[in-house]
A and B are shown apart, each in its own frame.
Chain A
Amino acid sequence: NAGVTQTPKFRILKIGQSMTLQCAQDMNHNYMYWYRQDPGMGLKLIYYSVGAGITDKGEVPNGYNVSRSTTEDFPLRLELAAPSQTSVYFCASSYTSGSTTGELFFGEGSRLTVL
């Protein structure tokens, strides 16, 4: 069972570079999320998607973009990387409706450093 798969696990970027963090899930979940985790700050939602073709901003969307062309994939694009984007990024998915628990399943995380 693959669950939620994120790549890469580690990446170092120079200021101003761009990159895409990949996320794929094989559980046929409708919702997908990108969170970032900074030390001592819990998790903050960057973007989320309620289904293919539908995305919305979370708490901290600036400097990021997402797309959801399929149910399985939810890539996160960083444009013009800045040191403030140094963080650990978690992708998650859930099957969320009024009658489900909406429990999130997380990927292993992607540790990004911007120098």
Chain B
Amino acid sequence: ELKVEQNPLFLSMQEGKNYTIYCNYSTTSDRLYWYRQDPGKSLESLFVLLSNGAVKQEGRLMASLDTKARLSTLHITAAVHDLSATYFCAGSNYGGSQGNLIFGKGTKLSVKP
């Protein structure tokens, strides 16, 4: 059974600093997703990582996937206040079962001036 763990669960950063959120998963996941959620809002898709070594970047966020280590990272470069949100990673059981995503508990990011 796929399990997804994120760390840290809470992250307070200063503007301009860099940091990384880690997402470990327990068994084979054939794709890895990152979502963003603002308070009281829905989830917005950020990245979909489909293969080992995949790297995707959008603005100050960069996501990567290492399937051998069962690890995905979300790297934040020169954080700004607008990045304050909760970030979720999710793995997929699609290859083995029916395609439902398993979510981590989320990392609540707070960027302070």
Q: Please give the residue numbers on chain A whose beta carbons come within 8 Å of chain B beta carbons, in ascending order.
A: 31, 33, 35, 40-45, 48, 50, 56, 58, 90, 92, 94, 96, 98, 101-109
The number of A-B residue pairs with CB atoms under 8 Å apart is: 60
Given A41-B105, A43-B88, A50-B42 contact (CB < 8 Å): no
Given A40-B105, A42-B105, are A101 and B50 also a contact pair (CB < 8 Å)?
yes
A96 B99 Cβ-Cβ under 8 A: yes
Q: Is the beta-carbon distance between B99 and A50 smaller than 8 angstroms?
A: yes
Does B31 contact A102, Cβ atoms closer than 8 Å?
A: yes
Q: Is the CB of B100 within 8 A of A45?
A: yes
Size bin of chain B's contact surface: 20 to 34
In the complex, what residues of B have CB within 8 A of residue A92's CB?
A: 43
Across the two chains, which residue of chain A brings its CB closest to B43? A106
CA distance A56 to B94 in the complex (A): 14
Question: A43: shortest Cβ distance to chain B, in Å?
Answer: 4
24 pairs, CB–CB < 8 Å, chain A vs chain B: A40-B105, A42-B103, A42-B104, A43-B43, A44-B103, A45-B100, A45-B102, A48-B100, A50-B98, A50-B99, A58-B100, A90-B43, A94-B99, A101-B50, A102-B94, A102-B99, A103-B45, A104-B43, A104-B45, A104-B101, A106-B42, A106-B43, A108-B42, A109-B42
